[in-house]
């Protein structure tokens, strides 16, 4: 019986999801956002609402930066969206270093499991080795960067993807699920990442089920050992 318990414990840890790939995301609530760690893969869902969306990055060391623009793949999608990346030089002046053109870009269809929705993937700042499954950024020098996302009419909905490092952390899942409590609607008329909430429950329930199985087995073994000892004493 003890051998069975050890076997169960071994397979429990083997399949226990200590962490899952977490693509952090944020629903933009203003036209200015500070990106604290641009190397970590993040998705910012926004609606221009008549103004340009500005993102700020400040790095003290050289780093890799990936930037991508996505729009929802719906009927008559609005792909008239652009992004400019500026670098602040030593004189304190902004210098445009990258221009992402949604009109000239070749948009490709993309299905995001995280939200269970279809998107169109457009212009991006990426290395030549980058692809839809494994994005890879380009090397940037330390300093202050500004990303401005705007559209032809400034009414477009967009997703700004920043960073190429996927993290494996259950804390990110819990953080992402908290965003669902906000009364924000996504591009599809549903609560943003509603499907992801169900996926999050699966990731959380699996380890709880394993723990329950472990406790149940341990209690059963303890009861059997007590009964065997009582029989031995009675004999």
The token pair at 226 is: 């007590």
> Cα 5 from chain centroid?
37
Q: CA 10 to CA 217: how far, in whole Å?
A: 13
Q: Is 23 helix (H, G, I), strand (E, B) or coil?
A: coil
**Per mean pLDDT, which of 16-30, 58-72, 218-232 is the most reliable?**
58-72
Q: Are 21 and 28 in contact (CB under 8 A)?
A: no
Q: Please name the fold of domain 24-165.
A: Jelly Rolls (2.60.120)
Give which of 155, 162, 149, 157 is closest to 52, Cα–Cα. 149
The ranges assigned to domains in the chain are 2-14+201-234, 24-165
User: 68-112: per-residue pLDDT in tens?
Assistant: 999 888 888 888 999 999 999 878 889 999 999 999 999 988 876
Q: CA 87 to CA 145: how far, in whole Å?
A: 5
The reported pLDDT for the residue numbered 134 is 73
Give which of 73, 38, 34 is closest to 186, Cα–Cα. 73
> Cα 153 from chain centroid?
28
- Sorted by sequence, the CB contacts under 8 Å of residue 200 that are 6+ apart come out as 173, 176, 177
Mean pLDDT within 24-35? 84
User: 160-188: per-residue pLDDT in tens?
Assistant: 999 988 765 444 544 444 444 443 445 55
Please give the biggest Cα pair distance in the chain.
93
Give which of 217, 61, 29 is closest to 140, Cα–Cα. 61
**How many Cα atoms sit within 13 Å of 196 on the Cβ side?**
26
The reported pLDDT for the residue numbered 30 is 85
Mean pLDDT within 29-53? 90
Average pLDDT, the chain: 76
């Amino acid at each position: 019986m003890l051998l069975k318990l050890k076997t169960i414990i071994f397979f429990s840890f083997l399949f226990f999801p200590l962490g899952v790939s977490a693509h952090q995301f944020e629903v933009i609530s203003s036209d200015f956002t500070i990106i604290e760690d641009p190397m970590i893969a993040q998705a910012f869902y926004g609606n221009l609402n008549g103004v340009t969306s500005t993102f700020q990055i400040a790095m003290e060391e050289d780093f890799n930066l990936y930037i991508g623009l996505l729009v929802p793949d719906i009927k008559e999608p609005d792909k008239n969206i652009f992004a400019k990346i500026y670098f602040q030089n030593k004189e304190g002046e902004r210098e445009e270093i990258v221009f992402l053109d949604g009109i000239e870009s070749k948009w490709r269809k993309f299905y995001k499991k995280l939200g269970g929705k279809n998107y169109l993937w457009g212009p991006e700042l990426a290395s030549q080795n980058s692809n839809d499954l494994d994005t890879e950024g380009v090397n940037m020098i330390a300093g202050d960067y500004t990303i401005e996302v705007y559209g032809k009419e400034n009414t477009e909905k967009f997703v700004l993807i920043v960073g190429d490092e996927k993290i494996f952390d259950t804390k990110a899942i819990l953080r992402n699920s908290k965003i669902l409590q906000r009364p924000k609607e996504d591009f599809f008329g549903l609560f943003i990442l509603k499907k992801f909430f169900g996926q999050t429950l699966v990731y959380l329930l699996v380890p709880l089920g394993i723990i329950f199985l472990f406790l149940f087995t341990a209690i059963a073994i303890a009861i059997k050992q007590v009964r065997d000892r009582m029989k031995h004493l009675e004999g």
